[in-house]
Amino acid sequence: MKKITIIGSGTMGNGIAHVFALHGYPVSLVDVSAGALEKAMQTIAGNLDRMIKKELITPEKKERALSAIRTFTTIDRATEDAGLVVEAVSEDPELKLSLFRQLDDLCPPDTILASNTSSISISRIAAATKRPEKVVGMHFMNPVPVMKLVEVIKGYATSGETCAAVMELAQNLEKIPVAVNDYPGFVANRILMPMINEAIYAVHEGVAGVKEIDTVMKLGMSHPMGPLQLADFIGLDVCLSILRVLFDGFGNPKYAPCPLLVNMVTAGVLGVKSGAGFYSYENGTKDAPVAGRFRN
């Protein structure tokens, strides 16, 4: 089996390494931060332990998966013999473009270069390389070991062969791949983010309170989590930046981010990662409404 190189070992990168290693692929996991790599290996081991407890895998399978992962702080040696590179570094267009230029220089000509980007155009990333037909989006969902979907994004120049190879790989990971074309937000975020934005508008206009809006969507639409709580989990800054990609990409005012969202991000209120968003996450709580705010 050809080697899989994963660049970026944060939230998504460690999950992607987990699923490839568990399905028998040799993995090279790269991060500029040695600390991030150490934390990633601990997270993977912890998540594999959870799978053992649920009797989904055996302890031997865990050990095999962990020993299939090698870690690197630079990309040069990590990309030797890679059949596929999955990039999962921070969502920064300049960082990704420069990384794809380097990958194009370093990787063998038949290596497929995939990005896990949530919102940056695959065609734009591909245009930074001399192999745009071999560049594709492989958009895993968080948490990667649990979520079944992989959105496979076909850039303007991505070949059918590249798309088919990545679809097959995703199936080998027991995921369900769905092929989509490269337009802003692809499918998942094009539909999810306007829903979250509309929920924030409903708070902003006093249509209902935070808990009430989330309850309507949970109990009325069978969503496992309300849109405002989901926004807190994704990160309000991430939601804002994806909405801006939609707004800029389509030039349509229906994607304009709600001023309340802009205000919250400006104030550093980012959701779970900052301790509060539409809910408070201090003192171990998960969905305590933020006192005195967002009243009807």
Active site residues: 118, 139, 151, 189
Query: Rounded to an integer, what distance in angstroms lies between the CA atom of residue 260 and that of residue 294?
Result: 10
Structure tokens at 42: 């601990």
Query: Rounded to an integer, what distance in angstroms lies between the CA atom of residue 92 and that of residue 241?
Result: 11
12 marked among binding-site residues? yes
Going by C-alpha positions, the residue among 43, 44, 114 that lies closest to residue 85 is: 114
31 marked among binding-site residues? yes
| Total of chain residues touching ligand NAD, rule CB under 6 A | 24
Binding to ligand NAD by CB under 6 A, coded x per residue (else -) over 9-48, reads xxxxx----------------xxxx--x------------
218 marked among binding-site residues? no
99: contact with ligand NAD by CB under 6 A: yes
Binding to ligand NAD by CB under 6 A, coded x per residue (else -) over 162-201, reads ----------------------------------------
CB of 241 to ligand NAD, least distance (A): 9
DSSP state of 269: -
225: contact with ligand NAD by CB under 6 A: no
Long-range contacts of 290-294 (CB under 8 A, 24+ apart): 290/210, 294/203, 294/209, 294/210
- β-bridge partners, 7: 30, 87
91: contact with ligand NAD by CB under 6 A: yes
93: contact with ligand NAD by CB under 6 A: no
Query: Rounded to an integer, what distance in angstroms lies between the CA atom of residue 268 and that of residue 237?
Result: 9
94: contact with ligand NAD by CB under 6 A: no
Stretch in the footprint of ligand NAD (CB under 6 A) among 112-120, 199-207, 220-228, 253-261:
112-120
CB of 95 to ligand NAD, least distance (A): 6
Query: Rounded to an integer, what distance in angstroms lies between the CA atom of residue 213 and that of residue 208?
Result: 6
* Burial (CB count <10 Å: 0-12, 13-18, 19+), residue 161: exposed
Residues in touch with ligand NAD (CB under 6 A): 7-13, 30-33, 36, 88-91, 95, 99, 116-118, 139, 142, 234
